[in-house]
């Protein structure tokens, strides 16, 4: 899959106070990409699009370079104690994406160039919890991998956590451009996870993303480099033939890692996340993808309140139980050494 190249780059003037900001603007100008100054990364105008679909796609091709001013990090249950904000947004165009709830109808990709300040706040939060270990999630509202070739933010963050005894970093990606991370001395303190799904779900709903096989192959590279490895099977979809398709997916993972010892495979984790959506996300999804056949019928769902104050529609309890039983049984059969962290 070709690497991400933005169509336009917008930058805050303050971003030029940082070496990374200056380097990024210079790089994109040399690439011939349109660059424009904006007043604030939180009030972005000038992204074209006459329809919701056009605006969405143009947003996905827009990169915003900004300075993060907020001093507080959001919590991030159940995967970590805090979100670690280095990037927001994603170049993928997944129809079901939960970020449709909070990134708006022009979901541009935003990077923060004041990484030293962000990691300074991270250091304070770590020290407040010593001797407890503090976990940080780097992809709660983003997939940071597509822009890593330009920013190096993941590499800087991995290096920072390698030297932190009482902290761990984790992020998840659908993308495979991870070769630049393989030689970093990570000290086992960063877990790289790959979001995978059945090929049917990827082809129908996960536009502009690599195939399942490509993601699993990239995961093997990461594991060979000594990183703790995880897989998110997400979002798990309930459709005719779902059990066979998800079993094939798990078998493909098992086959890819067949030559590792049971002890090594015991370091691989799985997070199982069923499909869910909010009312706001549904409205945005139907505007952006008016012909989607994504299942979003409230009568077939259960309403559940989430940690951020808004509710979401999840599968009925009987379907959830069927999914959980089937997937855990399949993992136990094909990857019995792997750890299942949770099913939601």
Query: Does the pLDDT of residue 310 top 80, yes or no?
Result: no
How far apart (Å, rounded) are the C-alpha atoms in residues 36 and 8? 8
Determine, yes or no, domain membership for 47. yes
The two structure tokens encoding residue 204 = 């129908």
How far apart (Å, rounded) are the C-alpha atoms in residues 211 and 203? 8
H or E element in which residue 94 lies:
strand 93-94
The two structure tokens encoding residue 48 = 């074209």
How far apart (Å, rounded) are the C-alpha atoms in residues 159 and 2? 27
Query: Does the pLDDT of residue 306 top 90, yes or no?
Result: no
Determine, yes or no, domain membership for 3. no
Rounded to 5 degrees, φ, ψ at 94 are -80, 130
> What is the pTM assigned to this prediction?
0.94
Amino acid 197: pLDDT: 98
Burial 135-144 (b: 16+ CB within 10 A, else e): bbbbbbbbbb
pLDDT digits (tens, 9 = 90+) for 87-110: 999 999 999 987 766 666 788 999
Paired with 339 in beta bridges are 269
Paired with 120 in beta bridges are none
Determine, yes or no, domain membership for 1. no
How far apart (Å, rounded) are the C-alpha atoms in residues 217 and 175? 11
How far apart (Å, rounded) are the C-alpha atoms in residues 263 and 279? 44
pLDDT digits (tens, 9 = 90+) for 37-91: 998 877 788 889 889 899 999 999 999 999 999 999 999 877 799 999 999 999 9
Determine, yes or no, domain membership for 308. yes
Domain count, the chain: 1
Q: What is the dihedral of CA 249, 251, 254, 259, to 10 degrees?
A: -130
Region of 226 please: left (phi>0), alpha (psi -120 to 50) or beta: left
Q: State which residues form the domain around 189.
A: 8-343
**How far is CA 53 from each of CA 93, 259, 290, 322, rounded to the nearest angstrom?**
11, 45, 8, 35
How far apart (Å, rounded) are the C-alpha atoms in residues 96 and 189? 31
Determine, yes or no, domain membership for 327. yes
Query: Does the pLDDT of residue 307 top 90, yes or no?
Result: no
Determine, yes or no, domain membership for 224. yes
Determine, yes or no, domain membership for 120. yes
Determine, yes or no, domain membership for 66. yes
Q: What is the CATH number of the domain that holds 20?
A: 3.80.30.30
Average pLDDT for residues 294-309, to the nearest whole number?
84
Paired with 227 in beta bridges are none
Report the alpha-carbon angle 176-180-182, nearest 5.
Answer: 85
């Amino acid at each position: 899959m070709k690497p991400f190249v933005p169509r336009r780059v917008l930058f805050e003037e303050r971003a030029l106070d940082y070496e990374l900001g200056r380097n990024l603007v210079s790089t994109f100008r040399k690439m011939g990409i349109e660059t424009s100054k904006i007043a604030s990364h939180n009030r972005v105008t000038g992204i074209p699009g006459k329809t919701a679909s056009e605006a969405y796609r143009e947003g996905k091709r827009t990169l915003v370079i900004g300075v993060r001013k907020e001093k507080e990090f959001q919590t991030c249950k159940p995967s970590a104690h805090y979100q670690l904000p280095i990037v927001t947004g994603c170049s993928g165009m997944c129809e079901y994406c939960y970020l449709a709830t909070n990134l708006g109808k022009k979901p541009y990709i935003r990077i923060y160039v004041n990484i030293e300040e962000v990691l300074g706040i991270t250091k304070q939060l770590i020290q407040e919890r010593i001797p407890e270990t503090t976990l940080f999630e780097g992809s709660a509202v983003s997939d940071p991998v597509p822009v890593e070739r330009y920013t190096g933010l993941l590499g800087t963050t991995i290096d920072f956590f390698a030297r932190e005894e009482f902290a761990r970093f984790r992020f998840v990606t659908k993308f495979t451009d991870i070769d630049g991370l393989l030689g970093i001395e990570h000290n086992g303190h960063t877990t790289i996870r790959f979001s995978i799904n059945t090929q049917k779900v990827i082809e129908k709903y996960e536009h502009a993303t690599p195939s399942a096989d490509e993601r699993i192959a990239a995961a093997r590279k990461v594991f060979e480099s000594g990183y703790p490895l995880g897989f998110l099977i997400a979002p798990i979809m309930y459709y005719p033939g779902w059990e066979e398709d998800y079993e094939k997916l798990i078998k493909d993972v098992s086959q890819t890692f067949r030559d590792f010892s049971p002890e090594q495979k015991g370091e691989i984790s799985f997070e199982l996340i069923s499909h869910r959506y909010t009312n706001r996300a549904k409205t945005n999804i139907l505007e952006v993808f008016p012909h989607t056949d994504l299942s979003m019928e409230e009568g077939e769902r259960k309403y559940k309140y989430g940690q951020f104050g808004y509710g979401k529609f999840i599968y009925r309890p009987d379907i959830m139980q069927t999914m959980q039983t089937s997937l855990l049984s399949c993992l136990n059969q094909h990857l019995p050494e792997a750890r299942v962290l949770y099913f939601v």
